[in-house]
Amino acid sequence: MKVTKLIFKDLGSAVVIAFILIIVIPVLCSGCKGTKRIVEKPIVFDEQRSQLTLEYMAERYGIKKDTPTIEPRMIVLHWTVYPTLEESFEAFRSSTLPNYRSDIEGVSGLNVSSHFLVDRDGTIYRLMPETTMARHVIGLNHCSIGIENVGGTDKNPLTALQLQANIWLINYLAKKYSIEYLIGHYEYTKFEQQEFWLEKNDSYRTEKEDPGESFMKNVRDATKKFNFKPVPENKIL
Ligand SMILES: [Zn+2]
């Protein structure tokens, strides 16, 4: 009887210790690292997407690697224009480019994506690992983390909650990586012929206005402490 009680007592202790090790400590640690606000919502990143990413890196940038990884040096902010999280996520989900983006399909079949997607209520979703290359900005994918925001344009302007979430996320990323630049997608062509620019095709460009100048100004005002480098004034011709 005593032996049975002892076993049960030990089992009880073991369960408590296991609970602390498996549940309590990881939860506390994730809070310490500031990852609590990030919800994992992965897009498809299968063998096909991996291969297409490696091809994109080799053909567009002349980078030959075995894995499609990056060292983040830049953060690029975007808006999706799609009014809902579901539509925005669907645009990035599959590995290959849907037919309706035929304007850029000639360059690569790799679907566009970004590392993060911020919903209109400020919820932050991580779509893929921060150190895997996403296709979100011509010329600079090999060194940049993309943050997409649901909505955009005059009809669905980005919300105050999205602004707060972007600021939080930039703080999180700037502490984690050696980030030198924070830019809006509409500013990307200013990096042509600058140190990070690698796109080989001079005629492959798209006109962008996301995520709007006022949104960028607000984000920059709130992240001054990081002393990100200024965006180059003009292209060097
Ligand atoms: Zn964009």
Say how many Å lie between the CA of residue 29 and the centre of ligand 1: 33
Taking Cα atoms as reference points, which of 208, 105, 210 lies closest to residue 150? Answer: 210
More confident residue, 199 or 211: 211
Per-residue model confidence (pLDDT) at position 158? 98
Say how many Å lie between the CA of residue 14 and the centre of ligand 1: 51
More confident residue, 227 or 105: 227
What CATH class has 33-226?
alpha beta
Per-residue model confidence (pLDDT) at position 18? 55
Helix 160-176 × helix 213-222 angle, to 10°? 50
Say how many Å lie between the CA of residue 75 and the centre of ligand 1: 12
Q: Please check whether residue 81 is in contact with residue 152, taking contact to mean a CB–CB distance below 8 angstroms.
A: yes
- Tell me the pLDDT tens digit for each residue of 149-197: 999 988 999 999 999 999 999 999 999 999 999 999 999 999 998 889 9
Say how many Å lie between the CA of residue 138 and the centre of ligand 1: 10
Mean pLDDT value across the chain? 87
The domain segmentation of the chain, as residue ranges, is 1-30, 33-226
Say how many Å lie between the CA of residue 63 and the centre of ligand 1: 23
Per-residue model confidence (pLDDT) at position 198? 87
Say how many Å lie between the CA of residue 26 and the centre of ligand 1: 34
Strands 74-77 and 181-184 turn out to be parallel
Q: Which residues in 69-166 belong to E strands, given as ranges?
A: 74-77, 116-118, 124-126, 144-149
Residue 48 has pLDDT above 60, yes or no: yes
